[in-house]
Chain A
Amino acid sequence: MSLLLFILLPLLAIFLMPFYRAYLHYVSTVLSMALFGLALTCKAALPLVERVAVDLPLAITFELSSVSWLLVTLFTLSMSLFSLYHLRFSSNKALFVGTNMLLVGVIGLVLSRDIFNIYIFFEISSISAYLLTSLNQDAKAYGGAIRYMIIGAFASLFFLLSIMLIYLTIGVLDLQMIAQRFNLIDEQVQYLILLSLFIALGIKTELFGLNFWVPDVYQASRSAVSGLFSAMLSKSYLFLLFHLAYLLHVSTSQMAFLTLVAALTFAVAEFSALKSRETKRIFAFSTLGQIGLIALALSYGDTALTEAALFLIIVHALAKLMLFLALDLLERRLGSTKSEIFARFESLFLMAVFTVGALSLLGIPPFAGFAAKLSLLKGLAGLEAYGAMALILTVSLIEAAYLFRLLSGFRQGEQKMVVTLSPLERLIFGVMMFALLLLGLMPQPLLALCQEAAQAMLGGYHAAL
């Protein structure tokens, strides 16, 4: 049960693609479900370290700590839901390649413990993201993809610069060893490395100041694809940013700066969603907002808050994927993605899906978002961070404003197009809605997992303080 399976199997599937050209979606569904099963089975043997030795000094190590296990399970789960949803449609080669490469890149980011290895998966996930953005093959898709590539390339430049500086100064690539020797480096160079890392990963985790490109990309790509982006892509980079921050013992003032940036992301994104008319951009802003919230929680470096953040990651991924898949359904049936489409379709089930998704995003009981928001607020109150609490509470009022404006569309409009869902789609959305409700009413088991993951993530950081 080596960790490499997570990386190799999807790549192998891409390689053997010509053999099953017509059943691509079935293959990717089976593949992602298998990986999901695999992830669940190796829960017991945590933490799993695997060293792939080419020649003794040159070795690539993969580590599956409880945090990365949680994320890998989340990624494989969202991937299987995504491909289940696509079973109905005709097989699309680019989509198959893109999604599987994205899965590999994202899992690689989370697993690898070697800085250069991270760079490779950084590039793999980026390339697959560029490909997926341009799936619609029209001017809008290509425009979005090109913009994404330019900014992605800019980010990889800085990441490359930081790797080179690290290697030039301490000559080692393994994260553990970098962590030990990091404070040997000269003060300015440390700051330069951290800064370039922050810029590179900041662009990828879509923090404030560096995330102005995100709404365009979400608007350009298909809704289902943007669902994948918000469920997997930004989450993995978020984990990476804070994993490196904790490993390299970033100073408290820099952590405070991160908190400020995260708070700004949350507030600015939610505010700018208020008057937007484009549904995909609204959900993009909402994703940015939630990322800001997760970053805010992670930036305090406190186990309770990190536990809440991880729980929020999972809940947000589920809710946002559901919303985007439902939006994709609508987009395929009605064509446009203006926010008026909410007034032009007639399907009780789909309305329920949007309502459950919106309420969970907002953190309204009895859905999962509430448990996340409550533990977040409890953690903040424990740290007496009352400013952050006030910010979260007031800005989520803005969030409520635009989400309920969307929901109120159901009552407006006259001649509505009846949208019928296939039993499979009803099953997928039903499962996801039930999961959100279940997590809302009984969050304890998942919270315990997140607690354990939080301790694993912050173990080193607390030891050093």
Chain B
Amino acid sequence: MEEGFNAYRQSLESEEQSIKSTQSVVEQAIAWFRAHSMFVLAYGTGCGAIEMPPTFTSRYDIERLGVVGVATPRQADILIVSGYCSPKTLKRVIRSYEQMSDPKYIIGLGSCTINGGMYWDSYNTIKKLDDFLPVDMYVNGCMPRPEALIEGFVKLQEKIRLNSSEAGYIKYRDNYAHYRANQERLFGAQVAPSYEENFAGMN
């Protein structure tokens, strides 16, 4: 199997063709609307939060893609975890993520969410975001510029258009126990109340 960026692109496109054929028109329409109207939770968790305002201003104008910042997790679809994430912030991030309504996606900015980045040996940051929350789209760069962020959004749009089954929120729902265990191991007694019942009868 080829490695590298192009190989990944081809696999995505082929997968897209295979899924498109299996889904009905209604599901495709729904996926289309979800892709074209993305509400981002205005919650700057780390150092990358400074990159988000420029994307909304006139130079980069992300609103063309249908992305609007909203204040409450209830209305949000997308949660951007920008940069390093200390346990204190992570507790709020998890709570907000759980209060968002499905389908919801997470964009991880920078390498800190992948493997801890330059804080790899720090005592108070988490090294791998994916242990605690299912990340849908990574945008690397030690703080990616707005263009990279927009590129991330475009990619996410394509993924949403695919309406594929291993979207983050489905993964979170299916193996909630795994995530929950990681969270409890990290927070110990101060873990937020579990969100178990919300998933009952969802799938």
A touches B in complex, CB < 8 A: no
**Which residue numbers of A lie inside 8 Å of B, CB to CB?**
none
Binding site for A on B (CB under 8 A): none
